[in-house]
Amino acid sequence: ANLVGKMLGVRIKHVSGAWEDIHKKAKNRKIDGIRLLVKNEAREEYLNFTKPLTELTHAVLVHQEVDPLRSLSDLAGKKVAMVRKSHGARYIADKYPGIHVVAVSTYEDGINALLGKKVDAFFGPEATITDVLTKKGITNLKIALDVYEMKASLSIGIRKDWPELIPILNKVLDAIPAEKHLKIRRKWLSPDVEAGKKLSLTAAEKAWLVEHERIRIGTMDAWPPFNFVDRNGKPAGIGAGYVQALNRRLDGALEIVPGDWKVIYEDVKEKRLDALMDITPKPGREAHFNFTQPYLNVPHVIVAKNDVPFISNEGDLIGKTLALERGFGNVKYFRENYPQVKIKEYRDTPHALGAVARGEADAYAGNRSVALYVIENEVISNLRIHGRLKKAGSMLSIGTRKDWPILRDILQKVLDDISQEEKRAIVSQWVAPEKEMPVVPVVALTPEEKAWLAAHPVLKLGYDIDWPPIEKWTKDEGLVGLSADFFSIIAQRLGVTIEPATPMDWVSMLELANKGELDLMSALVQTPQRDEFLDFTQPYLTFPMVIVTREEVTYIGKMNELNGKKVGVVAGYASQDYLTNLHPKIKIMPAQDVRKGLLDVVQGNTFAFVGNLATISHIIAREGLSEIKISGETPYKYDLRIGIRKGEPVLGLIMQKALDSISEEERGNIYSRWVNVTY
């Protein structure tokens, strides 16, 4: 506000008070505006709003001894303090009525209520929480959950009868340099950065840094907004912002060397450069690079002209010409998995998108944020985003030369020291809030857990070869489905390779797990039989267990209606265990897979089939089985968990932490990509 007043040549008088009182004054025009608030319909009745200045992320604050939360649903029945009539309070009241809201006047009042154990938690803006904790030196509280599902943009609100002021303020905000924006954010949104937490470097790491005063790190020269060279020939972009954050903690030891991707990639391989920004960890690269944990996650999308039919995924590109960046991973991906797609390679993303705009290629596939940045900044008005690729997006890490593992360890510690707020501040310089890519949540591993992963860089995964949409093995794409997407995120977030076992039927896969030849099982229900050879995470997918019959059968409301009847289940599935142990009067007919079990019902070989709703709905639609229907639900459900090889408790802890790091938004995106069920 002070900077805006200075640029306008006016003095802005600050009025403080309780949030509700501030809004009453704004309604009565006793104050002229409110800084940093969320725009909504109720507030638009008495305020006009500028363009967004920054983004608001909320968090849940609890006592140190409380376990981390998986989602806001974990607060059901709990007393949670939040500021009366705030954006967060409105959101909770609307979306989570099971949470008992305790209204307070100020954020400080809410945190004090938590300190006094009058409430179970406090819910509010993460930046405000961090600021209060830092200023008051509070150490017995912690953030248990970052709530990415309700990110909101913050604007300046101005009294309704002064509409002329909005365009003036927008021009002033546009005139504030990006560096100044970041400085303000860093001052007020990231107090822990200014506090300068000491890095826990070992004596060997400190000595190594003394011996290597200059560490040269490669960045791409034409991949905006991640890394590029600006008009003055200076490195710019999100990656450069991360390097600046690293340098603040390493006394400026890093020197950016911009260049073409293939050149800087080879330079690190040949040890002419020391490290490389924005590289995706892959098994084929492990011979030449050590990787930090990813710091950004960006989906890959398809870009084509506005006037062409919608291109939803890779399959729609068959027979078309696709523009890709030379040397990028998507070239290999399409050549190996979709050889019918014609590929044209270009030097960089702007050239590839330009080819699509000119009609040299039908489409482009790649990083969403880069594509949006180029389209907007180069004013390519005839292109738009179409669908998403099925493959995982860009998980961006720092890659270091293979003979310097100590450099990777140092950079990882420095990355861990960068707060979530500082990461968001770096990203928001270059990406508008509504298009911002998610900062990768940190998986906080203990030294023991990190050592375990370092000793086990490849984990063998068991799965079901035909259980769509949960998972399915295909010749062209390998393992795909809900579980495959979860494990793609887990592998990249942990920096390990998760290798699917050789395809085989489910019973054989369980036998391998029983022999201890698999490290993980992807998605299965915990049963007493399986407890003998597997440990389990908490459930990460849940589906009802339903009953399928022929169309003419009426609704089945109780399990005893199946007594004496032939009922199909897949051999080795949890449904077989439940029916065998709990319903001995049912004649169980094991089938090889879900498709075979459903066909048995169609052909009259069995009266019914019991299985999970998602898979049954998927196969009925895929096979066009109009003769059968879902006739009822069982009292059971498929709580799908990751199975952990018995005797590896550290691996179990690691997997649970990795699952917990996957946000509600990420889970929703995975689910909507694979599941489309209607009752």
Q: What's the pLDDT tens digit per position in 56-94? A: 678 899 988 887 676 788 898 999 999 988 888 888 888
In a domain, 74, yes or no: yes
Exposed e or buried b for every residue in 610-634, given b needs 16+ CB within 10 A? bbbbbbbbbbbeeeebeebebbbeb
> In 3-state terms, what secondary structure has residue 90?
helix
Length of the chain as a residue count: 679
In a domain, 196, yes or no: no
What pLDDT digit, counting tens, does each position of 247-285 carry? 888 888 999 999 999 999 999 999 999 999 999 888 788
506 shares a domain with 376: no
539 shares a domain with 560: yes
- Binned at pLDDT 50, 70 and 90, residue 196 comes out as very low
Rounded distance, CA 62 to CA 69, Å? 10
Contact predicate 351/392, CB 8 Å: no
350 shares a domain with 224: no
- Binned at pLDDT 50, 70 and 90, residue 341 comes out as very high
51 shares a domain with 10: yes
According to the model, what pLDDT value does residue 378 have? Answer: 77
428 or 347, greater pLDDT: 347
According to the model, what pLDDT value does residue 180 have? Answer: 56
- CA 73 remoteness from chain centre: 18
**Residue 231 is part of a domain; what is its CATH number?**
3.40.190.10
- Binned at pLDDT 50, 70 and 90, residue 6 comes out as low
Q: What's the structural domain count of the chain?
A: 4
The answer for residues whose C-beta is within 8 angstroms of residue 481's C-beta and 6 or more apart is 467, 468, 469, 470, 471, 472, 674
Alpha carbon distances (Å) from 283 to 393, 394, 484, 587, 611: 16, 15, 17, 48, 36
In a domain, 611, yes or no: yes
- Which of the given ranges, 173-177, 249-253, 562-566, has the highest pLDDT on average? 562-566
* pLDDT-wise least confident of 434-443, 567-576, 663-672: 434-443
Last residue of a domain, one of 388, 404, 422: 388
According to the model, what pLDDT value does residue 199 have? Answer: 65
Of all residues in the chain, the percent with pLDDT exceeding 90 is 38
569 shares a domain with 470: yes
pLDDT at 190 over 50: no
- Binned at pLDDT 50, 70 and 90, residue 656 comes out as very high
- CA 431 remoteness from chain centre: 17
* pLDDT-wise least confident of 143-147, 164-168, 510-514, 558-562: 143-147
pTM greater than 0.85:
no
Rounded distance, CA 616 to CA 547, Å? 10
Arithmetic mean of pLDDT, 650-667:
89
- Binned at pLDDT 50, 70 and 90, residue 9 comes out as low
122 shares a domain with 152: yes
Last residue of a domain, one of 406, 439, 472: 439
Arithmetic mean of pLDDT, 606-619:
90
In a domain, 45, yes or no: yes
**Residue 398 phi, psi dihedral angles, 5° rounding:** -100, 130
114 shares a domain with 22: yes
Arithmetic mean of pLDDT, 661-678:
71
468 shares a domain with 432: no
- Binned at pLDDT 50, 70 and 90, residue 375 comes out as confident
- Binned at pLDDT 50, 70 and 90, residue 611 comes out as very high
In a domain, 189, yes or no: no
458 shares a domain with 424: no
How many beta carbons lie within 10 A of that of residue 354, not counting itself? 19
In a domain, 197, yes or no: no
- Binned at pLDDT 50, 70 and 90, residue 678 comes out as very low
334 shares a domain with 403: no
The whole domain housing 447 covers: 443-679
447 shares a domain with 433: no
Alpha helices in 157-260 (DSSP H): 165-175, 178-189, 191-195, 203-211, 238-249
- Binned at pLDDT 50, 70 and 90, residue 533 comes out as very high
* pLDDT-wise least confident of 112-126, 189-203, 456-470, 510-524: 189-203
According to the model, what pLDDT value does residue 195 have? Answer: 34
Q: What type of residue is 653?
A: L
pLDDT at 183 over 60: no
Rounded distance, CA 431 to CA 234, Å? 19
319 shares a domain with 239: no
Can you read off the two tokens belonging to residue 161?
């009868």
The answer for residues whose C-beta is within 8 angstroms of residue 161's C-beta and 6 or more apart is 29
According to the model, what pLDDT value does residue 189 have? Answer: 46
Helix H, strand E, coil C: the string for 600-655 is HHHCCCCCEEEEEHHHHHHHHHHHCCCCEEEEEEEEEEEEEEEEEECCCHHHHHHH
- Which of the given ranges, 447-451, 479-483, 587-591, has the highest pLDDT on average? 587-591
pLDDT at 676 over 70: no
In a domain, 186, yes or no: no
In a domain, 190, yes or no: no
Average pLDDT, the chain: 85
pLDDT at 353 over 90: yes
pLDDT at 432 over 60: no
Residues facing 219 on adjacent strands: 258
According to the model, what pLDDT value does residue 52 have? Answer: 80
Arithmetic mean of pLDDT, 117-137:
81
Q: H/E element holding 280?
A: none
pLDDT at 351 over 80: yes
